[in-house]
Amino acid sequence: MAAPYDLSDATVVVVIGTGAGGGTLANELAQKGIDVVALEAGGRYLPEDYLNDEWPSFGQLAWLDARTTSGNWRVATDFSGLPAWIVKAVGGSTVHWAGASLRLQEHEFRVLSEYGAIEGANLMDWPLTLAEMEPWYDKAEDKMGTTRTNGIPGLPGNNNFKVMKAGADALGYKNCHTGRMSINSQPRHGRPACGQLGFCFQGCKFGAKWSTAYVDIPAGEATGKLEVREHAHVLTIEHDASGKVSGVVYADKDGNHQRQAARAVCVAGNSIESPRLLLNSASSMFPDGLANSSGQVGRNYMRHMTGSVYAIFDKPVRMWRGTTMAGIITDEAGNDPNRGFVGGYEMETLSIGVPFMAAFLDPGGWGREFSSAMDGYENMAGMWLVGEDMPQEGNGITLHPEVKDQYGLPAPNVHFDDHPNDTAMRNHAYTQGSAVYDAVGAVRTLPTPPYPSTHNLGTNRMSAKAADGVVDKHGQAHDIANLFISDGSQFTTGGAENPTLTIVALAIRQADHIARQMAAGAI
Amino acid sequence: MTTPANPRGMTRRELLKRGTVLSTAFVAGTGFLAHATDAWAVELKALSPATMATLIQMARDIYPHDRVADRFYAIAVKGHDDTAAEDATHKALIEDGIADLDARAQAAGAPSYLGTGWEIDRVALLRQIESGGFFQAIRGGLVVGLYNQKEIWPIFGYEGESFSKGGYIDRGFDDIAWL
C-alpha cells in the first residue's frame, strides 16, 4: 500500500524523522496528495512489540548513539553520555511520551514583551500569537483525541492522582484535575480506552495513547502517498548551485549510503539531531552549516526547568498503577515575578518503576539514605515539575571535535548551564511540590534532580527577522526556501507546557503552508 | 530461603551438606563461593572466593535492604567476575580495590573489611573511596544489577508487567482508601 518512490525522484518531499513533528507532517502532506518519503533512523515497533519492562524497553526504543555533555546541569554529571531520553523508532518520542497535551499560554508567545530583557537570557517574542495558533491547536486536539477537549471526558484518577488532588485541595490550589491527555478515556477512532497499564513511557500496548507510530504513519501510508523508510539515518542534506536543497544522503540498515532526491526537505529529528544535521551539512556555499546565516543553528537549547518530588507516606499508594502522568496542578503555571522568577511551571503526577527509580531518584546516591527511600517505594507518590527555562545563546548543540558516531560523523555535544531563573523556579517548585504532599501527611519528601531531557527545544528558533533566528513563522528556513524545520527545535521559547501538542499543531499548520507554496510554485 | 532462583550468572547446584559447613556467613572453597545456610553458590571464573565475599558485603553496604537476601547481591556483583575473566585490567581494579579496602579496615583496627563488625564502620571506609573508579564501578553496576532483578520487586511492592493481566483498570488503579 505504501508508495515506493525512486531514489532519483526529485518531486518528493523528504521528511526526516517520524515523531510528533515529522510523523504528523508526513501524514498531513500525504492526505493532501503530496508525495512524501519519510526517513526514520530507527525501526518500527507497534503496540504488540512494546515491553512492560523498563530497561528492556529502554534498550528497544531509546536513542543511544554517541553524544557528549558539558555545562553545569546535573545531567552532565549523572548521565554524561545520555543528555536526552528520547526515542529512535518510527513514531519517535510519541511512542514514549506521557500524553500531556497543553496549549502554550497567550503570554508565552511574547515573553520578551511580557518579562522584559533578562540578563543572560536570549528572550524573543515568537513571530506567532496564540490567536493564530488556536485553529491549529483545535485540529491537533481533535486528531490526538485530547481529553477535556472536543467533548472527550477526562481520564479517571489513579492512586497517584488522588494523593496529588488531596494535597492540592488542602493547600488551596484551585486547578487540579486529571489533565488534558491524548490518551483515550473512551474508545475513539478505532483505538480503545486506557486500561491503566502504568507503562506509558514504554509504549502503550493498548494503543490508547496517541502516537504517530500507529496513528498518523499508517494513515499516511494508506493514502499511497507516503513511503516510510526505516533504519534510514540521514547524514547530510545536499543543495544545488542555486542554494536550494536537492536531496539527502542517508545510511540504510546495512550502513550503505543512499541519496534520495527531494523537492523540499523537512527536518524533524529532535532538537539535538536537527541542528546537528544542518551543521554536518556545511558546504563551500554554506560553511557554517545550512540555514545558519544568523549563527543561531544549535543555539538557545532549552530542556524545560524540570525536577521531581517523590513523597513517602505511612500507608501504601502504589503510584505505578495506571496512567503515568495522571493529573496536573496548573496554579503555578502563570507568570508571577513576585515568586522570584519569571515564567511558570506545571506540577504533573509521575511514576516510574523500581528499576528506573533506582537510577533516577538520586543518581550517585547510596547508603541507607538512598536504600530506605527505595524501601518506601510502595508508599510513594510522585510528581514531575516542568516549567519554562530561559533560552541562552551559549546553551546548545555543537559538533564534537573528536567523538564520532557509528557513521563516522561528529557526535553532538549538548551544553547546558542552568540560568539563575531556572534554579530559582526549580527551588520554588520543590518547595511547593513537597508542600502538596506534606499537606496529606507525607513522612518524607525527596526532591529529585532532573532526568535526561525529554523536552528538547529551541535549537533552530523561529524568528520574524532572518538575522535573529533560523526559520520563519511557518518553520521555513530564512536562508533556503525549500528547507523546513518541523520539530520542537523551531520553538522560539519553551513555555511551561509539555511541547508535543504545540509541535503537532505547528506541523499541521506547516503542511498547509507547504501545500500552498507547492501549488503556487514557490517551492 | 529454600527455593533459590535460577538467575543468569548463577549455577544452581546441591552444594552443602548441613553440618559440614562453618557457621560463618560465607564458605570459601576453591572456585566457588557458597552461602552457609542457603542452597546457592556463585561459580567463580577469575576472582577468589574471599574477594567475591567482600564484594557481596560491599554491595549490601552500598544499597542495604535488610529484606533482600544475599544471593541477590551475589547475582548483582557476579558480572565483575565474568568481566575479570576476560579483562585483566578489570580484575586488577577489583582485586586492588578490595586490597585497598582491607588495608583501610586494618588501619582502622579491624582485621579486614569483612571483619569490620558494624555497617556504619564499613560505610565510613567506603566514604573514603567513593569518588574512585573501583567504588564507582561497583556502585554503578548495582543500580541495574540489583534493582532490575524481578525476583526482588515484590519486596518493594512493585508489581511489574501488567498488560497480560489487563492493566489495573479492574485491579485497583484507584483503590487508595486512607486519604
Q: Is 70 exceeded by the pLDDT of residue B27?
A: no
pLDDT of residue A423: 98
Q: Is 80 exceeded by the pLDDT of residue A487?
A: yes
pLDDT of residue A150: 98
pLDDT of B114-132, one tens digit each? 999 999 999 999 999 999 9
pLDDT of residue B42: 78
- B173:A196 CB<8 A: yes
How near does any CA of chain A get to the CA of B139, in Å?
8
When pLDDT is cut at 50, 70 and 90, the band that residue B8 belongs to is very low
C-beta of residue A106 within 8 angstroms of C-beta of residue A130: yes
Across chain A, what does the average pLDDT equal? 97
When pLDDT is cut at 50, 70 and 90, the band that residue B11 belongs to is very low
Q: Is 60 exceeded by the pLDDT of residue B53?
A: yes
| pTM of the complete model | 0.94
Using the Cα atoms of residue A143, residue A144, residue A149 and residue A153 in order, give the sign of their dihedral: positive
pLDDT of residue B13: 36
pLDDT of residue B30: 52
Using the Cα atoms of residue A203, residue A205, residue A210 and residue A214 in order, give the sign of their dihedral: positive
Size of interface A-B (CB pairs under 8 A): 117
How near does any CA of chain B get to the CA of A240, in Å?
50
Strand partners, A25: none
When pLDDT is cut at 50, 70 and 90, the band that residue B16 belongs to is very low
pLDDT of residue B14: 31
- B175:A353 CB<8 A: no
**DSSP symbol at A338:** G
Partner residue facing B143 (CB), from A194, A358, A375: A358
What is the spatial distance between Cα A324 and Cα A445, in angstroms, rounded to a whole number? Answer: 19
pLDDT of A364-393, one tens digit each? 999 999 999 999 999 999 999 999 999 999
Using the Cα atoms of residue A489, residue A493, residue A497 and residue A501 in order, give the sign of their dihedral: negative
Looking at chain A, which residue has its C-alpha nearest residue B58?
A: A367
Phi, psi of A278 (to 5 degrees): -65, -40
Going by C-beta distance under 8 Å and a sequence separation of 6 or more, which residues neighbour residue A273? A17, A41, A412
Exposure of B22 by Cβ count < 10 A (0-12 exposed, 13-18 middle, 19+ buried)? exposed
Residue with cell 525549500: A482
Choosing among B128, B134, B155, B168, which should be mutated to test the A contact, i.e. which has the most A CBs within 10 A? B168
Weakest mean pLDDT among A336-340, A415-419, B25-29 = B25-29
Q: Is 60 exceeded by the pLDDT of residue A507?
A: yes
Helix, strand, or coil here: A111? Answer: helix
Looking at chain B, which residue has its C-alpha nearest residue A317?
A: B176
When pLDDT is cut at 50, 70 and 90, the band that residue B38 belongs to is low
- pLDDT greater at residue A487 or residue B6: A487
Q: Is 60 exceeded by the pLDDT of residue A498?
A: yes
**DSSP symbol at A477:** B
What is the spatial distance between Cα B162 and Cα A45, in angstroms, rounded to a whole number? Answer: 19
pLDDT of residue A1: 44
What is the spatial distance between Cα A387 and Cα A455, in angstroms, rounded to a whole number? Answer: 11
Q: What is the mean predicted confidence (pLDDT) over A392-420?
A: 98
Q: B60-64 contacts: CB < 8 A, separation 24 or more?
A: B61/A367, B61/B119, B61/B122, B61/B123, B61/B126, B62/A366, B62/A367, B62/B126, B62/B138, B62/B139, B62/B142, B63/A366, B63/A370, B63/A371, B63/A374, B63/B142, B63/B146, B63/B147, B64/A367, B64/A368, B64/A371, B64/B119
pLDDT of residue A491: 98
- B159:A163 CB<8 A: no
pLDDT of A164-204, one tens digit each? 999 999 999 999 999 999 999 999 999 999 999 999 999 99
pLDDT of residue A282: 98
pLDDT of residue B5: 38
How near does any CA of chain A get to the CA of B38, in Å?
24
Which chain A residues are closer than 8 Å to B157 by Cβ? 316, 318, 377-379
- A367:B178 CB<8 A: no
Q: How far apart are the first and last CA of chain B?
A: 36
Q: What is the mean predicted confidence (pLDDT) over B86-114?
A: 98
A104 Cα distance to chain centroid: 14
When pLDDT is cut at 50, 70 and 90, the band that residue B4 belongs to is very low
What is the spatial distance between Cα A340 and Cα A111, in angstroms, rounded to a whole number? Answer: 16
Helix, strand and coil percent figures for chain A, each rounded to 5: 30, 20, 50
pLDDT of residue B18: 29
- A162:B169 CB<8 A: no
What is the spatial distance between Cα A352 and Cα A437, in angstroms, rounded to a whole number? Answer: 18
- pLDDT greater at residue B36 or residue B84: B84
In one-letter notation, the amino acid at residue A467 is A
When pLDDT is cut at 50, 70 and 90, the band that residue B39 belongs to is low
Q: Is 60 exceeded by the pLDDT of residue B15?
A: no
Q: What is the mean predicted confidence (pLDDT) over A252-274?
A: 98
From residue B44, how far is each of A407, A444, B82, B148 by CA, in Å? 39, 41, 8, 22
pLDDT of A27-38, one tens digit each? 999 999 999 999
Strand partners, A349: A383
pLDDT of residue B24: 40
Partner residue facing B157 (CB), from A54, A194, A378: A378
SS3 of A251-308: the string is ECCCCCEEEEECCEEEECCHHHHHHHHHHHCCCCCCCCCCCCCCCCCCCCCECCEEEE
When pLDDT is cut at 50, 70 and 90, the band that residue B41 belongs to is confident
When pLDDT is cut at 50, 70 and 90, the band that residue B43 belongs to is confident
How near does any CA of chain B get to the CA of A386, in Å?
25
What is the spatial distance between Cα A356 and Cα A198, in angstroms, rounded to a whole number? Answer: 13
Q: What is the mean predicted confidence (pLDDT) over B125-153?
A: 97
pLDDT of residue B7: 36
- B158:A377 CB<8 A: yes
When pLDDT is cut at 50, 70 and 90, the band that residue B20 belongs to is very low
